Amino acid sequence: MSKYIIRGGKPLHGSVSISGAKNAAVAIIPAAVITDGICRVENVPDIADVAVYFNILRRLGAEVRDAGGGAFEINSAGVASPVATSGDMQKLRASYYLIGALLARFGRADVAMPGGCNFGAPRQIDLHIKGLSAMGASISVKNGVITATTEDRLHGAYVFLDAPSVGATINIMLAASTASGTTVIENAAREPHVVDLATFLSLMGAEIYGAGTNTIRIHGKDRLHGGAHSIITDQLEAGSFMAAAAATGGRVEINNVIPKHLECISGKLCEMGVSIHETGDSSVVVEGPGRLRCVDVTAAPYPGFPTDMQPQAAVLLCLADGTSAVTDNIFDTRFKYIDELAKMGASIKAAGRTVIIKGVPALTGAPLKAGDLRAGAALVIAGLCARGTTEIEGVRYIERGYENMLGKLRSLGADVTSSDAPARETAAV
Complex with ligand EPZ: residue 253 or 308, whichever CB lies closer: 308
Q: Write the binding mask 271 to 310 for ligand EPZ: x where contact by CB under 6 A, - elsewhere.
A: ------------------------------------xx--
Q: Considering only residues 6, 26, 99, 254, which one is a binding residue for ligand EPZ as defined by CB under 6 A?
A: 26
What is the C-alpha to C-alpha distance for residues 55 and 51, in angstroms, rounded to an integer?
Answer: 6
Q: CB under 6 A: which stretch of 63-71, 165-173, 200-208, 341-349 binds ligand EPZ?
A: 165-173
Q: Considering only residues 95, 165, 199, 235, which one is a binding residue for ligand EPZ as defined by CB under 6 A?
A: 165
- Local structure of residue 423 (DSSP, 8 states): P
Q: CB under 6 A: which stretch of 58-66, 161-169, 226-234, 344-352 binds ligand EPZ?
A: 161-169
Q: Write the binding mask 94 to 113 for ligand EPZ: x where contact by CB under 6 A, - elsewhere.
A: x-------------------
Q: Residue 290: which residues within 8 A CB-CB, separation 6 or more?
A: 249
Task: Return phi, psi of residue 128, to 5°.
Answer: -60, -50
Element (H, E) at 5: strand 3-7
Q: Write the binding mask 367 to 386 for ligand EPZ: x where contact by CB under 6 A, - elsewhere.
A: ------xx------------
Of 71, 74, 68, the closest CA to residue 42 belongs to: 71
Backbone CA torsion sign across 161, 165, 168, 170:
positive
Q: Write the binding mask 120 to 159 for ligand EPZ: x where contact by CB under 6 A, - elsewhere.
A: ---xxxxxx-------------------------------
Complex with ligand EPZ: residue 56 or 166, whichever CB lies closer: 166
**Helix, strand or coil, per DSSP, at residue 33:** helix
168 binds ligand EPZ (CB under 6 A): yes
Q: Residue 313: which residues within 8 A CB-CB, separation 6 or more?
A: 243, 268, 297, 305, 326
Complex with ligand EPZ: residue 56 or 292, whichever CB lies closer: 56
DSSP strand E in 80-181: where? 83-84, 108-112, 138-142, 145-149, 158-160
- Local structure of residue 363 (DSSP, 8 states): -
Element (H, E) at 73: strand 71-75
What pairs with residue 133 in β-bridges? Answer: none
Taking CB atoms, the residue at the shortest distance from ligand EPZ is 167
CB atoms within 10 A of CB 216: 25
Binding to ligand EPZ in span 223-262, by CB under 6 A? none
Complex with ligand EPZ: residue 249 or 306, whichever CB lies closer: 306
Q: CB under 6 A: which stretch of 31-39, 162-170, 265-273, 320-328 binds ligand EPZ?
A: 162-170
Binding to ligand EPZ in span 183-202, by CB under 6 A? 189, 191
**Does 117 participate in catalysis according to the annotation?**
yes
Say whether the peptide bond before residue 303 is cis (omega within 30 degrees of 0). Answer: yes
* Angle between the N-to-C axes of helices 192-203 and 22-31, in degrees from 0 to 180, rounded to the nearest 10: 30
Active site residues: 117
Residues that bind ligand EPZ in the complex, under the rule CB under 6 A: 22-23, 26, 93-94, 117, 123-128, 163, 165-168, 189, 191, 307-308, 330-331, 373-374, 401
